[in-house]
Structure 1
Amino acid sequence: MRNFLIITCVHHYAKNGKYYAYGPYVREINLWIRNKEKVTVLAPLISSQQPGKIDLAYVHPNLKFESVPAYHIQSWTARFKSLVQVPYILIRIFMEMWKSDHIHIRIPGNMGLLAMFVQVLFPFKFKTIKYAGNWDPKSIQPLTYKIQRWIANSTRFTRNARVLVYGNWPDNSSNVVPFFTASYRKEEEEPVFKIPLRKKLKLVYIGAIYDGKNPEIGIYLSKILVENEIDFEFTYCGDGVMRRELEELSEELGLSDHVTFLGNVTAAEIKEILKESHFLIFISQTEGWPKAVAEAMFWGCVPFTSAVSCVPEMVGKNGERGVLLSKDPEKIYQTIRSFLKDEMLFQKTSTAAMNWARAYNLEKFQAEIEKFE
């Protein structure tokens, strides 16, 4: 029986005999494993926690979960623990790779780093390597990410592999395949009808609330909108270390009537919010293929986002499907004003965004990954 091995640093949770992890990741993996005879997942299992709203369960009749420690080196205590944990994890990775027929590695990440070293010992086994971060060679990234990228791109150290990356970049080796991801099926497509911008402007932020995503921009933008007497609502979907800080800042600036923090919400709830929203405010410092942007575009929600990774390809370098901006709330406001003055411009951009995003559905994704079986 052929064994499909998945190695990832994504944290997992067990409940009622099923294994759960971050929803968008599992939704994609369930497509990878749909036609596989046997599946083994090698990843951290957090036994002290239960799955949350945004987590989904793997769907496969013959799935085996192999738990390893969720190691890191962010403190001296963790570094000392890793002296024992890392050799143990390396041995576990080697053993599982030995028993597998197809090795699927998710990078960048701490598990991916170890797996990329070990896979060198298996040049004749077929591998698919998903680089879910920013493949841009000029981007500022941690050294460990650059190491993983270099090994994956090397045809000397990584053989018999297809490395799936977001975007087209000049230094790609024959290993590399420009790729994409998806969130919705074609059957989910439906017409979108939004209320006029001038009646009530609806803005949304989707994602983890921490400094790398610059979520505070939405608060400062909201303050400018209030000062200019624009009727609007701003919805934050997501959680993170900065959430409480932003909630307090919102209250301090008198924005409580306009800004709402929903925390983690289900995929179904996000879908309904995006269908009603006009603009996504998502000025992240680094991304791979930002699902927040792609999902917003699928529902005609025009993204205001940053020019990182393949995002310019997604929204169009000339702004035909979205707006590329820096983290300057005043410039974002001025761009919103141009849409407020020209409702037809919004409709044109919204439709273009929707048409582009709907070309990348889960059926297309499934068809593409089946080429790597």
Structure 2
Amino acid sequence: MKLLVISDAPILSHISKKEAYAPYVKEMDLWLRHAGKVSFVCPTRYKRTLLTQPFQNQDFKVLPLRRLEFHNVIAALISLITIPYQTIVLWNAMRKADHIHLRCPGNLALLASMVQVTLPRKRKSVKYAGNFSPTASQPFSYRWQKRILSNTTLSKNIDLLVYGEWPNQSRNVKPFFTATYSEKDRKDFQKEFNEPLQFIFVGTLSVNKNPQSLMELVTELNHKGIRAQAHFYGDGPMMEELKVQSSEFQVEVSNVSSSESREQFQKDKTFYFYGNQPSDVVKRAYQNAHFSFLASQSEGWPKAVAESMWYGCIPISTPVSCVPWMLGVSGQNQIGSRGIIFKYVDQITRLIKELVDEKEKMATISHNAQRWSHEYTLEKFETEIIKLLQS
């Protein structure tokens, strides 16, 4: 079978090996494992730093196309001039393929979503990695490709794979997921919810992720007499600012009874910054944490939430994308069967104070989160990919 993958994610050449963004490579390795001839249509240059790794299977063809960018006048003009050529390249590549796989959203993906309309008999699948919520505020290009791809009159013979379950969708829209861990990694992780409560943040330290909200939460908990600490894994533009801010927070230890334990707690830091760490280090951190925290403004499949749930962390997250579904939260409730919705620091502080007095409830939420996450393994993910390629 001839598989064609069209994506805005660049494939770069390094020491005679093809490589790309590490999480993307891990997923595409599974697709390549079950296809015959594979071709990618994508950019082959990227100006910013990217965490990359080589593909396991290097036997595939790359058809390079320029990134379509519209962030300034010159970039927009160049992109508009190249669109006719890119359209021809896309159409020719699609015509020769047995299965067309689009990776959305993105500008090249938008162009491809329009070109695929002219090939209704071709078998197609689309991985929409962004927020598919009908009420989400998104760029026009994102909304446009969602409409084209979910329109069964325009887009035929196509499976549109999205994160979460959404009401009133067309028949070609199918809930999907992403996996990180294998079935052999399954284990019953029991949490002892003793103080100091351990919070973990994993991801880019950027404005979009709002890591400072976790610092505010942990500081407020300590002020309320609940000992807590926060551990930050990841790097980003806010790293130095957060370190400075952490030294400014004054932590009260009003509920530490003995002078010895009070002195020991004051020696321990409240905020820890580790930068980017290998996956094994992060796994151990998840096992030691009680809560995970993600106050992101936008997500597709919040990987850090799903991974923390695997180890029994109680996730605290903003209600973006499919998060309420992941956490078992219904309606306007802020606490679900598998986690807590974050809106305000004061609100989360109050909920955690209530949970501290109900250790059994915390243990139940932790168990539910773990059981849900354990359903989404790499083996199940690969099985679903095989079904798509063989259908």
Using structure 2 for the length normalisation, give the TM-score: 0.87
Q: CA deviation at 1:49?
A: 7.1
2:151 aligned partner: 154
1:218 aligned partner: 214
Helix, strand or coil for the counterpart of 1:33? helix
Aligned ranges 1:106-145 → 2 under 5 Å: 106-145=103-142
Report if the CA contact (8 A) 1:11-1:45 is conserved: yes
Helix, strand or coil for the counterpart of 1:156? coil
Unaligned runs of 5+ in 2: 252-267, 331-335
Separation (CA, whole Å) in 2 of partners of 1:206 and 1:358 = 19
Name the aligned partner's letter for residue 25 of structure 1: Y
1:356 aligned partner: 372
Alignment of 1:34 with 2:33, yes or no, is yes
Q: CA deviation at 1:137?
A: 1.2
Alignment of 1:285 with 2:274, yes or no, is no
Using the TM superposition, name which of 275-284 and 41-50 deviates more. 41-50
Separation (CA, whole Å) in 1 of partners of 2:242 and 2:64 = 36
Separation (CA, whole Å) in 2 of partners of 1:49 and 1:214 = 22
Alignment of 1:174 with 2:171, yes or no, is yes
Of all paired residues, the percent bearing the same amino acid is 35
1:306 aligned partner: 318
Q: 1:39–1:207: structure 2 CA closer, same or farther, 3 Å change rule?
A: same
Q: 1:74–1:47: structure 2 CA closer, same or farther, 3 Å change rule?
A: closer
Unaligned runs of 5+ in 1: none
Separation (CA, whole Å) in 1 of partners of 2:340 and 2:79 = 43
In the alignment of these two chains, the number of paired residues is: 368
Q: CA deviation at 1:146?
A: 0.5
Q: CA deviation at 1:297?
A: 0.6
Using the TM superposition, name which of 307-316 and 13-22 deviates more. 13-22
Render the CA deviation track for 1:26-81: whole Å, top value 9, x for unaligned. Answer: 222222221111111222223667763xx333222522223322332112332233
2:223 aligned partner: 227
Render the CA deviation track for 1:339-364: whole Å, top value 9, x for unaligned. Answer: 32222222111111101110111111
Report if the CA contact (8 A) 1:204-1:235 is conserved: yes
Report if the CA contact (8 A) 2:226-2:353 is conserved: no
1:324 aligned partner: 341
Cα RMSD after superposing both structures: 2.3
- Runs of 4+ with >6 A deviation: 47-50
Aligned ranges 1:1-373 → 2 under 5 Å: 2-46=1-45, 52=51, 55-60=52-57, 62-194=59-191, 196-253=192-249, 257-317=269-329, 319-326=336-343, 328-373=344-389
Q: 1:178–1:362: structure 2 CA closer, same or farther, 3 Å change rule?
A: same
Helix, strand or coil for the counterpart of 2:235? coil
Helix, strand or coil for the counterpart of 2:33? coil
Helix, strand or coil for the counterpart of 1:98? helix
Q: 1:310–1:180: structure 2 CA closer, same or farther, 3 Å change rule?
A: same
Report if the CA contact (8 A) 1:15-1:50 is conserved: no
Separation (CA, whole Å) in 1 of partners of 2:11 and 2:157 = 29
Separation (CA, whole Å) in 2 of partners of 1:244 and 1:86 = 41
Q: CA deviation at 1:257?
A: 2.6
Report if the CA contact (8 A) 1:20-1:51 is conserved: no
Separation (CA, whole Å) in 1 of partners of 2:158 and 2:66 = 27
Name the aligned partner's letter for residue 98 of structure 1: R
Separation (CA, whole Å) in 2 of partners of 1:76 and 1:241 = 27
Render the CA deviation track for 1:151-204: whole Å, top value 9, x for unaligned. Answer: 01011221111111122222311221122221111011123244x333321111
Q: 1:251–1:49: structure 2 CA closer, same or farther, 3 Å change rule?
A: same
CA radius of gyration, larger in:
2
Using the TM superposition, name which of 176-185 and 246-255 deviates more. 246-255
Report if the CA contact (8 A) 1:14-1:51 is conserved: no
Q: 1:347–1:212: structure 2 CA closer, same or farther, 3 Å change rule?
A: same
Q: 1:252–1:20: structure 2 CA closer, same or farther, 3 Å change rule?
A: farther
Using structure 1 for the length normalisation, give the TM-score: 0.91
Name the aligned partner's letter for residue 21 of structure 1: A
Separation (CA, whole Å) in 2 of partners of 1:77 and 1:252 = 44
Separation (CA, whole Å) in 1 of partners of 2:81 and 2:118 = 22
